[in-house]
Amino acid sequence: MNFLEERIVKDGVVKEGNVLKVDSFLNHQIDISLFDEIGREFKDRFAGRPINKILTIEASGIGIAAVAATHFGVPVVFAKKAKSINLEGEMYVAEVESFTHKTKNQVIVSKKFLSGNDRVLIIDDFLANGCALQGLIQIVQAAGAVVEGIGIAIEKGFQPGGQIIRNLGYKLESLAIVDAMDPVTGEITFR
Ligand code: 5GP
């Protein structure tokens, strides 16, 4: 088991509905030294890629992306969840269905912060069905930028997102891939 898998076993809680709760260290209370290790691991796994920007999505991707960015020395842009619909013009827009809230949001990135010159590493905390990532990929493509890679902390391998994204040909690196988890016993199986 790697450092993240060990932490998930120690502090993660398996909930009904295929939800893994990691709010004691990852998406409510944050363990910054763990994030620092995650960032260093992404830096290793994407070594040699000409990344000049990290893109994530609010809210829970921002912390990991921000700490990872210290290892890459690049800025972070996060897609914002937008309520307004009158956005064309200055914004790239994509529609994303939230796994945890089952709602559809438009997410936006200002054209000021993403352009055809950018080589982007996309980072997020979880990968489930892949909706969030597909929205972010759409935004990068709309900008004429290049997706150099995708870094995920926790992929739930029993949900389809990972396979969808890998089949599209992207270099997707997930630091922990959960292949099974049991809400009754709490048992978690990693790939
Ligand atoms: P997807 O778009 O791949 O279906 O879901 C990814 C998003 O849903 C992530 O940004 C994450 O915030 C949230 N998410 C998906 N599954 C889980 C989970 O098991 N636990 C938590 N805490 N968040 C999740």
How far is Cα 135 from Cα 98, in angstroms, rounded to an integer?
11
Query: Is the dihedral angle over the CA atoms 129, 31, 170, 55 positive or is it negative?
Result: positive
Q: Which atom of ligand 1 is nearest to the CA of 130?
A: 3
> Is the CB–ligand 1 distance for residue 20 below 6 Å?
yes
Q: Which residue of 8, 18, 125, 129 sits with most ligand 1 atoms within 8 Å of its CB, as the best mutation to test the pocket?
A: 125
Average pLDDT over residues 154-166: 98
Confidence band, pLDDT 50/70/90 cuts, at residue 86: low
Span from the CA of 81 to the centroid of ligand 1 (angstroms): 15
Q: Which of 94, 111, 95 is nearest to 145 (CA)?
A: 111
Average pLDDT over residues 70-98: 87
Span from the CA of 114 to the centroid of ligand 1 (angstroms): 24
Q: Is the pLDDT of residue 8 over 80?
A: yes
Helix (H) or strand (E) holding 62: helix 61-72
Q: For all residues of the chain together, what is the average pLDDT?
A: 95
Residues spanned by the domain of 9: 3-190
How far is Cα 106 from Cα 149, in angstroms, rounded to an integer?
23
The CA angle 56-21-75, to the nearest 5 degrees, is 15
Confidence band, pLDDT 50/70/90 cuts, at residue 99: confident
How far is Cα 31 from Cα 114, in angstroms, rounded to an integer?
29
> Is the CB–ligand 1 distance for residue 127 below 6 Å?
yes
Q: Is the pLDDT of residue 87 over 90?
A: no
Strand-pair partners of 97 = 104
**DSSP 8-state code for residue 151:** E
Confidence band, pLDDT 50/70/90 cuts, at residue 182: very high
State the CATH number of the domain containing residue 171. Answer: 3.40.50.2020
Average pLDDT over residues 163-190: 98
Span from the CA of 170 to the centroid of ligand 1 (angstroms): 19
> Is the CB–ligand 1 distance for residue 178 below 6 Å?
no
For position 82, what pLDDT does the model report?
87
Strand-pair partners of 127 = 155
Average pLDDT over residues 138-143: 98
At position 23, the amino acid (one-letter code) is D
Q: Is the pLDDT of residue 178 over 90?
A: yes
For position 85, what pLDDT does the model report?
60
Confidence band, pLDDT 50/70/90 cuts, at residue 91: very high
Residues with Cβ within 8 Å of 77's Cβ and at least 6 positions away in sequence, in order, are 53, 54, 55, 56, 109, 113, 114
- Domains: count for the chain: 1
Ramachandran sector of residue 56 (left: φ over 0; alpha: ψ -120 to 50; beta: rest)? beta
How is residue 117 written in tokens?
């010159």
Average pLDDT over residues 137-143: 98
Ramachandran sector of residue 130 (left: φ over 0; alpha: ψ -120 to 50; beta: rest)? left
For position 141, what pLDDT does the model report?
98
Ramachandran sector of residue 73 (left: φ over 0; alpha: ψ -120 to 50; beta: rest)? left
For 12-59, how does the pLDDT look when each residue is reduced to its tens digit (9 = 90+)? 999 999 999 999 999 999 999 999 999 999 999 999 999 999 999 999
**DSSP 8-state code for residue 73:** T
